[in-house]
């Protein structure tokens, strides 16, 4: 469809990490599908990687998606390339981000596309302040679960006593099952080495009340109890508006007509090895173990070796994502034919996969996952059972959710041992509970798809947001 020059313009901005870029881009596509002009924005630190791995180019009028358009832009926040730890990097963003975002908003107005709403990200609370100071309505996209929102909110407001690691005490939060210390996001443990993450968690709520909407990457059917309990908490938290799962489900296809060139746009920071989909085509239905620990988790050399031997011993074909930074840790000789064949040709190792396409593939039997929230929602939406292997942060809570609440997998506990990998994979693929886990996963997949389909609960929330932004823009 032709560009509507008067379409309201929404600018989404996120922390420059893969787990933030993906939900931002997917929400952007949903908003564009419904007729908005949408700009996705992040720090210039990811500009070159997005260009190289995903062909993303900044500026211009954008590409069509459904009835709207999608474009990218980057903050002018020069970065000298020094390796910074998270604390210093967040400080860099907090210092250079606000003036850069204010300048970007001015440039958009000068280019004839004034921004009608800024959708920020919890790691960048200053984006809400910049928008509010410029007189632009603000929203926040919460990129973790409602359960984790509730836990962080209780923590930030000192509403419950958090168990220490090793304590037997259980944490009782309304709307959530009782949680052990191991189920709570690890950043909240007093002994956690990265205090900055605990501080960032608190900072997320600093100015959330200035945002008119808190959109959340989850869906009402999945977290009904948590969503029902939150309004009863004092002080009252902002209302969460579920718009997820923000996953690729044959993108754009919620509305009649052409999805547009931007519907297939990806936001990978590492080029996805598309050839693994052709390899999956050659595998038997429901036979392949897909394994990935996402974009940040760094396993020890010992854990990588145990994982390698465990996957090789499990008796199923496997597709294993070993990022370039982890590849040197693979046992010698594990990869036989370049990146193509591992463990005697039964496995494939790739630096990065098109994970949405992999999980949707009929050859995939289970997902050995670190349980990042995006991976969690993606496997729920695809209906693929899991071996849950969380490492830190909210992954611990997500794993409990997948295994104990949704009952669609098993835990794989630390320390990682090859026998443990083999046993966990066997349990999910062929064990006595395997059929029940698969049935649960399938049922959740159907619910997830229905909620984002036209007229589903998350789709209606997205539509209501679009309508309200459009009304305010007039």
Residues near ligand UDP (CB under 6 A) are: 18-19, 22, 292, 294-296, 321, 352-353, 355-356, 372-375, 378
Q: Nearest approach, Cβ of 57 to ligand UDP (angstroms)?
A: 20
Q: Nearest approach, Cβ of 450 to ligand UDP (angstroms)?
A: 21
Neighbours of 454 (CB within 10 A): 11
Q: Following CA atoms 136, 264, 367, 281 in sequence, which dihedral angle do they give, to the nearest 10 degrees?
A: 180
Does residue 282 sit in helix, strand or coil?
coil
| Of residues 128 and 355, the one with the C-beta less far from ligand UDP | 355
Query: What span, in angstroms and rounded, lies between the C-alpha atoms of 398 and 392?
Result: 10
Q: Nearest approach, Cβ of 352 to ligand UDP (angstroms)?
A: 4
Q: Nearest approach, Cβ of 184 to ligand UDP (angstroms)?
A: 17
Query: In a 10 Å sphere around its CB, with 0-12 CB exposed, 13-18 middle and 19+ buried, how is residue 195 labelled?
Result: exposed
| Of residues 262 and 294, the one with the C-beta less far from ligand UDP | 294
Q: Nearest approach, Cβ of 367 to ligand UDP (angstroms)?
A: 10
Catalytic residue among 9, 20, 92, 461: 20
Beta strand 335-337 with 341-342: parallel, antiparallel or unpaired?
antiparallel
Give every strand in the sheet of 240-242, ordered side by side.
63-65, 68-74, 37-42, 9-13, 115-120, 138-142, 213-216, 240-242
Residue 91 falls in the annotated catalytic set: no
Query: What span, in angstroms and rounded, lies between the C-alpha atoms of 359 and 441?
Result: 12
In degrees and rounded to multiples of 5, residue 296 shows phi and psi of: -120, -40
| Of residues 40 and 136, the one with the C-beta less far from ligand UDP | 40
In degrees and rounded to multiples of 5, residue 364 shows phi and psi of: -80, 125
| Of residues 353 and 447, the one with the C-beta less far from ligand UDP | 353
Residue of 310, 282, 315 lying closest to 416 (CA atoms) = 310
| Of residues 4 and 274, the one with the C-beta less far from ligand UDP | 274
Q: Which residues are part of the catalytic machinery?
A: 20
């Amino acid at each position: 469809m032709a560009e509507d020059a008067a379409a309201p313009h929404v600018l989404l901005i996120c922390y420059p990490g893969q787990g933030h870029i993906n939900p931002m881009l997917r929400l952007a596509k949903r908003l564009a599908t419904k007729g908005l002009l949408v700009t996705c924005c992040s720090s210039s630190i990811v500009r070159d990687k997005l260009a190289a791995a995903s062909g993303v180019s900044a500026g211009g009028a954008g590409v069509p998606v459904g009835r709207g358009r999608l474009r990218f832009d980057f903050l002018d926040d020069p970065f000298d390339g020094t390796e910074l730890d998270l604390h210093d990097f967040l400080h860099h963003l907090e210092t250079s981000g606000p003036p850069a975002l204010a300048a970007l908003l001015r440039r958009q107005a000068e280019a004839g596309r004034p921004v009608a709403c800024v959708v920020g990200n919890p790691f960048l609370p200053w984006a809400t302040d910049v928008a509010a100071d410029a007189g632009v309505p603000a929203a926040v996209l919460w990129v973790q679960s409602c359960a984790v929102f509730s836990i962080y909110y209780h923590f930030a407001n000192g509403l419950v006593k958090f168990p220490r690691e090793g304590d037997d005490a259980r944490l009782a939060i309304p709307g959530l099952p009782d949680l052990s210390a191991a189920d709570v996001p690890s950043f909240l443990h007093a002994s956690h080495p990265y205090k900055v993450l605990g501080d960032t968690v608190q900072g997320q709520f600093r100015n959330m009340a200035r945002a008119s909407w808190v959109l959340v990457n989850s869906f009402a059917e999945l977290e009904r109890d948590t969503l029902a309990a939150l309004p009863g908490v004092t002080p009252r938290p902002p209302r969460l508006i579920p718009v997820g799962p923000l996953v690729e489900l044959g993108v754009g296809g919620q509305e009649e007509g052409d999805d547009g060139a931007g519907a297939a746009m990806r936001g990978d920071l590492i080029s996805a090895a598309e050839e693994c989909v052709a390899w999956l085509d050659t595998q038997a239905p429901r036979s392949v173990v897909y394994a990935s620990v996402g974009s940040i988790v760094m396993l020890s050399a010992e854990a990588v070796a145990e994982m390698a031997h465990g996957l090789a011993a499990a008796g199923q074909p496997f597709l294993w994502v070993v990022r370039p930074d982890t590849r040197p840790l693979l046992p010698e000789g594990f990869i036989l034919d370049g990146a193509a064949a591992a463990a005697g040709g039964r496995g494939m190792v790739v630096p990065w996969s098109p994970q949405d396409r992999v999980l949707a593939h009929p050859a995939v039997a289970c997902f050995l996952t670190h349980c990042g929230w995006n991976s969690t929602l993606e496997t729920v939406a695809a209906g693929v059972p899991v071996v849950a292997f969380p490492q830190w942060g909210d992954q611990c809570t997500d794993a409990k959710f997948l295994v104990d609440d949704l009952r669609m997998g098993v835990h794989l506990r630390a320390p990682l041992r090859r026998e443990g990998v083999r046993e966990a994979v066997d349990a999910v693929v062929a064990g006595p509970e395997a059929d029940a886990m698969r049935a649960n996963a399938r049922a959740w997949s159907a619910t997830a798809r229905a909620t984002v389909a036209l007229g589903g609960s998350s789709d209606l929330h997205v539509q209501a947001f679009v309508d309200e932004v459009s009304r305010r823009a007039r």
